[in-house]
Amino acid sequence: MLDMYYMYPIALKEGNGIQLKDTNQKTYLDFYGGHGVISIGHSHPEFVKAIIQQVNQLAFYTNAFENPLQDELALLLGHQSGYDEYNLFLSNSGAEANENALKAASMVTGRGKVLSVKGAFHGRSAGAVGVTDNPKIRAAFGSQLVVDFISIDSLSELAEHLNSKEYAAFIIEGIQGVNGVWEATTEYWKLARKLCTQTGTLLVVDEIQSGYGRSGKFFAHQHHQILADIITIAKGMGNGFPVAGTIFSPQLVIGKGMLGTTFGGGHMACAAAISVLKTLKNEDLITKSEVQGGFLKSEISRLPLVKTVRGRGLMLGVEFEVSAKKVRQALLDEFGIITGFSDPEVLRILPPLTVSLAECEKLVNALNQLLTKELELLLESNNIQTVTIN
C-alpha cells in the first residue's frame, strides 16, 4: 500500500450499531462514524438484508440500461428531503459529486469562476480541491482554476463578490466539517440566496458531511429556510457503501451526456442508499439526531475546561482549555471511545444517528472524568508555581 494516511495502529473487523471490535477483540464506541459516514449504524439488519438480496439478484449493470432502483431512490430522496421537484445524478464519492456540481454550474451559466469559503473542504480531485481552502493539498495541475475565498461571517465580502456577477457558483458546506464545525448565520444564508438569484450565480450547498439528517434536519441549510440550486451528498447516503449524488434544481438544463460515470448509481449502491432512506424514516433518526445531539451539546458544555461546543444535531465540535488532541487520545486509550479531530484543536463528534441516550451518557461521563483529572492537574501545577514564586 502507498503510505498515504496517518493511521491508528488498530484494525477494526466488526461493527454493530455504534460498537466496533478490533482484531484483538477489544471493543470501542464509535462517536466518529468513520468520518461521518455511518448514518444508520454499523451492520444495520435492513442494510445488510438489502445488500445481500441485491447481490444475489444483480450486482451491477451499466447506465446504458434502465435501472428502476435509481428512480425509486430519487423519489424517496426527493420526498424525504423536501426537494421533490429536483433531479438527481448519481456518482461514487463526495469529490465527484462536487466536480459534477461545479462543472454543471459552469456549463449552465457560461462562467468559469467559483466563489468558495475560507476553511472550506470539498474533496481532493482537481476541481474539488480547487475550491478547498488548503493549498498544502493542491498541485500545480489544476492551478488554472479561478477561485476566490471569502469569510463565513462577512456579509459585506459576500455581497461585494457576488455583485461582481463573475461567478458560476457559490459553494458552501451546510456546516463546515473538516475546518472544525463552523456554520454561517441565517442572515448570511438568506443574503447568499438573494444575491445568487439576483446575480445569476448558482448556490451549491455541499451537504456531504452535514446532510442526511446529521444536523437534525435532512439538510443542514434547511435550518435557515432557504433553497439551494444544487446540493451534493455522499457519506451518510450509503452508510459505508460508496455512493454519492448531485441534486439539481429543475430549472437547470444540463445537456444529455455531459455528466457520466461507470459505477455511479449501480444496483448495489442504489439498494444500499434505499435501505438508508427507509431506515432514516422508519426509525425517525433525524428527530433522534436532534434529541441526542441536543443532550450531548448541553451536557458537554457544562463540563470543566470546555470552552465551546459548536454545531447541530450529531455534528458537534468541542473546543477545550486544554489540547483536544490529548483529549481525543485519552478517550481512545482509556475508554475505547473513537472521536474525530480538526486542526486547530477541535474534537469532532459524528456518531451514527442510531446512537442511544445511554451511549451518549457514556461519552459525557468519560469526558467528565478526563477533564476533571486535567483540571486537578492544572490546579496542582498552578499551586506549585505559586509556592515556588512565594
Q: Which residues bind ligand PLP (CB under 6 A)?
A: 35, 93-95, 98, 121-123, 173, 177-178, 206, 208-209, 234
- Of 311 and 336, the one with the shorter C-beta distance to ligand PLP is 311
Least distance to ligand PLP, CB of residue 205, Å = 10
Least distance to ligand PLP, CB of residue 279, Å = 21
CA dihedral (124, 221, 230, 278) positive or negative = positive
Which of 108, 73, 104, 81 is closest to 246 using CA atoms? 104
Which residue's CB atom is positioned nearest to ligand PLP? 94
- Of 234 and 314, the one with the shorter C-beta distance to ligand PLP is 234
- Of 212 and 303, the one with the shorter C-beta distance to ligand PLP is 212
Distance CA 310, CA 215 (A): 11
Least distance to ligand PLP, CB of residue 263, Å = 13
- Of 240 and 336, the one with the shorter C-beta distance to ligand PLP is 240
Least distance to ligand PLP, CB of residue 44, Å = 20
What's at 371, amino acid-wise? L
Least distance to ligand PLP, CB of residue 125, Å = 7
Least distance to ligand PLP, CB of residue 208, Å = 4
Q: Which residue has the cell 433518526?
A: 285
Is the distance from CB of 25 to CB of 200 less than 8 angstroms? no
- Of 234 and 371, the one with the shorter C-beta distance to ligand PLP is 234
- Of 40 and 366, the one with the shorter C-beta distance to ligand PLP is 40
Element (H, E) at 126: helix 126-130
- Residue 18 burial class via C-beta count within 10 angstroms: exposed 0-12, middle 13-18, buried 19 and up: buried
Per-position b or e across 285-300, b if 16+ CB within 10 A of its CB? bbebbbbbbeebbebb
Which of 337, 332, 386, 385 is closest to 360 using CA atoms? 337
Distance CA 54, CA 63 (A): 17
- Of 41 and 242, the one with the shorter C-beta distance to ligand PLP is 242
Which of 35, 309, 329 is closest to 178 using CA atoms? 35
Least distance to ligand PLP, CB of residue 95, Å = 3
Distance CA 12, CA 19 (A): 11
